[in-house]
Amino acid sequence: MVSNVFVGLGKAQARALGHPGLPLAVIPHPFGSRTRDEVRALAEKCVVEIVKLAAAK
Amino acid sequence: MSVVPAVPLSRAALVEAPDDLDELIEFFHARRWSDGLPVVPPTRERVERMLSCTSRKPDEVVANMAPGFGAATIERIAINAVMAGCRADYLPVLIAAVQAMTAKEFNLQGIQATTNPVAVWLVINGPIAEQLGVNGGMNCLGQGTVANATLGRALRLILQNVGGALPGEMDRATQGMPGKFSFCCAENEAQSPWEALHVERGFRRDQSTVTVIGAAGTHNMNTHAENADDLIRVIADTMAFPTSNDYWINGEPWIVIGPQHAEILHARGLSKADVKRRLWEESKLSAGRMAKIELARTQIARSEELGQITADTLLPISGGPEGIGIVVAGGPGTHSVYVASFGDTRAVTREVKQ
């Protein structure tokens, strides 16, 4: 799971670690400054995408 | 994290490169093997000469370096040292620096990949500083000294070429900072009134060490303050700014104290620990000075440590006075330097072994 600013990093790191096709769930940047409520809302959205990615695998 | 390199490790491949100097410089730029400046070609002869200054085997892996997890072999460190212009006997310093940077508490992944402007600052202590000519005196953070310039540059090339943090790719820095080209100095132990940094961190005075620090900038503090109270007050006030990472994370800020300022503090009878305690107490930041969103994230990040945090809370810059780092360096003059940290990092010191 990465924020959109770090998608390139996530892909490059996945390649470097031998998993070039690793699916990435993307959330909006920045993440560090979000309140707890915003993080919860993001998590609810993101879990749907993660389940989709896991199911696709 | 244990990482097995995707490519089998052996000695570095030989690459055919142009003889013409202009073409050769462009050859390195085109492959992004440089920091943007011309490099010294790492010919087999130059690399072998560098390797002769360590007893360690060229294919020994010192560490895998985030974020790309490239294997930092002794030979790869030597190749980048040659490219940066290092003299052969500098190699052991860089090997120790790689060991230090890959310690967990340094958080190399964060430092390499962050949007923050973080440079790795090398501080050299012990006899090797004088042996190699690392400058801890006048202009020690500036240009003009071969060891300072090329050791810092070599470290950057290693971070980029072995660690894989290419700007705009895995290095996500919003602006970056000039210290990412090179940021290296010695401590001015001869003019320090206190125990040296490496002694403070558990080493003997006759051991040589390198300390790595995740530094977010240098801010000059020019003051003609003549007494210790006045000097501490203005340094502490400079440390306390509301956009500092250190306050919301519980950081580890550093002060480069010029010898003149150090002498004022010492003459008052203050030890290094005393200075840290005074700075820690006097640099507390009113949480209400932060942007509302930073106050909110500080409330989340530091409530366990500090209890309830409101706009009226006075936030300490670090978990305790010992979290403030002090290095005595520089020449004559009324200057000290504030070095804010990345925040989520801790300095690491390793012995330099031949």
Question: What are the structure tokens assigned to A28, written together?
Answer: 């909006």
Question: What are the structure tokens assigned to B194, written together?
Answer: 């206190």
Chain center to CA of A1: 2
Res. B5: pLDDT tops 80:
no
User: What confidence score (pLDDT) does residue B209 get?
Assistant: 98
Res. B252: pLDDT tops 80:
yes
Q: Using CB atoms, which residue from B68, B115, B294 is nearest to A5?
A: B115
User: What confidence score (pLDDT) does residue A48 get?
Assistant: 84
Judge: B70–A16 Cβ closer than 8 Å, yes or no. yes
Q: What is the ipTM of this complex?
A: 0.75
Res. B1: pLDDT tops 80:
no
Q: Using CB atoms, which residue from B6, B164, B296 is nearest to A12?
A: B164
Res. B2: pLDDT tops 50:
no
| Distance between CA atoms of residues A11 and B318, nearest Å | 34
Can you tell me the mean pLDDT for B97-112? 98
Q: Using CB atoms, which residue from A6, A16, A18 is nearest to B172?
A: A6
User: What confidence score (pLDDT) does residue B9 get?
Assistant: 59
| Distance between CA atoms of residues A30 and A3, nearest Å | 7
User: What confidence score (pLDDT) does residue B4 get?
Assistant: 37
Min Cα separation B317/chain A (Å): 19
Give the torsion sign (CA, B257, B263, B267, B272): positive
Q: Report the phi/psi class of residue B257: left, alpha or beta, with left for phi > 0 and alpha for psi in -120 to 50.
A: beta
Q: Would you tell me which residues 3-42 of chain A have a C-beta closer than 8 angstroms to some C-beta of chain B?
A: 5-6, 8-9, 12-13, 16-18, 32-33, 35-36
Residues of B contacting chain A (CB within 8 angstroms): 3-4, 6, 67-70, 113, 115, 164, 169-170, 172, 293-294, 296-297, 300
Q: What is the mean pLDDT of chain B?
A: 95
Res. B7: pLDDT tops 50:
no
Judge: A16–B164 Cβ closer than 8 Å, yes or no. yes
Residue of B nearest to A9 (CA): B170
- Running DSSP on this structure, what letter comes out for residue B59? T
User: What confidence score (pLDDT) does residue A45 get?
Assistant: 82
- Running DSSP on this structure, what letter comes out for residue B14? P
Q: How far is CA A36 from CA A43, B110, B249, B295, B314, in A?
A: 10, 22, 16, 13, 23
User: What confidence score (pLDDT) does residue A57 get?
Assistant: 58
Nearest to B125 by CA among B288, B340, B326, B270: B326
Residue type, B251: G
Q: Does residue B99 contact residue B354 with C-beta atoms inside 8 Å? A: no
CB under 8 Å to B323, separation ≥6 — which residues?
Answer: B250, B251, B252, B253, B280, B317
Can you tell me the mean pLDDT for B323-330? 98
User: What confidence score (pLDDT) does residue A56 get?
Assistant: 75
* Backbone φ and ψ of B197, nearest 5°: -55, -45
Greater confidence, B272 or B13? Answer: B272
Judge: A16–B294 Cβ closer than 8 Å, yes or no. no
pLDDT in tens, B337-346: 999 999 999 9
Min Cα separation A22/chain B (Å): 15
Res. B3: pLDDT tops 60:
no
Chain center to CA of B46: 27
Give the pTM.
Answer: 0.93
* Backbone φ and ψ of B99, nearest 5°: -60, -45
